[in-house]
A = this chain, B = another copy of it.
Amino acid sequence: MTTGRLEAFSDGVFAIAITLLVLEFGISEDTEDLGAALLHIWPSYLAYVTTFLTIGVIWVNHHQLFDLVARVDRPLLFFNTLLLMVVAFLPFPTRLVAQFLQGGDEQTAALAYGCTFIVLAVAFQLVWRWMSAGRLIREDVPQSMLDGINRSFNPGLPLYLGVTALVFVSPLASIILFLALAVFYALPGSFLVRRR
Q: Tell me the A residues contacting B by CB distance below 8 Å.
A: 1, 5, 8-9, 11-23, 25-27, 29, 31, 33-35, 38, 48-49, 52-53, 56, 59-60, 63-64, 73-75, 77-78, 81, 84-85, 88-92, 95-96, 99-100, 105, 108-109, 112, 186-188, 192-193, 196
Name the CB-closest residue of B to A25.
B92
Name the CB-closest residue of B to A59.
B9
Copies in the complex: 4
Q: Other than the known A52-B81, A75-B188, what 14 A-B pairs have Cβ atoms closer than 8 Å?
A: A1-B63, A1-B64, A9-B14, A12-B12, A12-B19, A13-B15, A20-B20, A21-B88, A22-B88, A23-B91, A26-B95, A48-B89, A73-B188, A78-B186
| Dominant SS among interface residues on chain A | helix
Whether B9 pairs with A11 at a CB distance below 8 angstroms is: yes
**Complex interface: chain B residues within 8 A of A64 (CB):** 1
Name the CB-closest residue of B to A190.
B74
Whether A74 pairs with B109 at a CB distance below 8 angstroms is: no
